[in-house]
Amino acid sequence: MRLVVVSIGRLKQGPEQELAERYRERFEDIGRKLGFRGLAIHEIPESRARDTATRISEEAAAIAAAIPEKSALVALDEHGKSIDSAAFARQLGQWRDEGIANTIFAIGGADGLSPDLQRKAKLRIAFGSATWPHQMVRFMLLEQIYRAATILAGHPYHRA
């Protein structure tokens, strides 16, 4: 299974991008041994539309265009389900074992994800009840993906 993080907005050069890349690389090292075919990051420019509805619609269209057929969509949404790391790992392992070709993690822009994308998601998750900047959500997600791989591998990184 291939994992792809589709995110509105770009991480600028600096510590945030370095942290995100560190977790992506760590996942690559352990993920291949677990049957994952990589972790890609696809950045989509933020919409410049003046009104919120148009921005959400334009960003949703760009995200939808980046989702291959027969993919499991995971929406990062502040109103999503708060799941622990072990449950997240089990879900990724289950999709991998079911032969799902791609798991796509969608991170919306400042206005969030469209209701249509939220409905299409097999899983909607939140990192607690706080609202996080989408740039922070990206490296938090990448850390959780890496953590999930370590859990599946029985690696001591995750200590429950």
Determine the pLDDT at residue 146: 97
Question: Is 130 inside a domain boundary?
Answer: yes
- On whether residue 89 sits in a domain, the answer given is yes
Long-range contacts of 91-99 (CB under 8 A, 24+ apart): 91/123, 92/1, 92/3, 92/145, 92/148, 92/149, 92/152, 93/148, 93/152, 95/1, 96/1, 96/34, 96/35, 96/36, 99/1
Which amino acid makes up residue 58?
Answer: E
In a domain, 67, yes or no: yes
Say how many domains are in the chain: 1
Q: Is 78 helix (H, G, I), strand (E, B) or coil?
A: strand
Residue 77 lies in a domain: yes
- Residue 148 lies inside a defined structural domain of this protein: yes
**Residue 71: enclosing H or E segment and its boundaries?**
strand 71-81
- Provide the whole-model pTM: 0.94
Average pLDDT of the chain, as a whole number: 93
Please report the pLDDT score of residue 160 as a whole number.
60
160 domain-assigned: no
- Answer whether residue 159 is part of any domain: no
Beta-strand relationship, 71-81 and 39-44: unpaired
Q: What is the CATH number of the domain that holds 80?
A: 3.40.1280.10
158 belongs to a structural domain: no
Count Cβ atoms below 10 Å from residue 34 Cβ, excluding itself.
Answer: 16
Q: Which two tokens stand for residue 57?
A: 């619609």
| pLDDT at residue 158 is higher than 80 | no
Residue 34 has pLDDT above 90, yes or no: yes
Is pLDDT at 7 greater than 80 in this prediction? yes
Mean pLDDT for 84-109 is 96
Q: Which amino acid is at 113?
A: L
Tell me whether strands 123-125 and 39-44 are parallel, antiparallel or unpaired.
unpaired
Q: What is the mean pLDDT of residues 42-46?
A: 95
- pLDDT per residue as tens digits for the range 9-28: 988 888 888 999 999 999 99
Task: Give me the residue label for tokens 């469209």.
Answer: 114
Residue 12 has a pLDDT of 85
**Could you tell me the residue range of the domain that residue 27 belongs to?**
2-153
What is the pLDDT confidence band of residue 142, given thresholds at 50, 70 and 90? very high
Structure confidence at residue 65 (pLDDT): 96
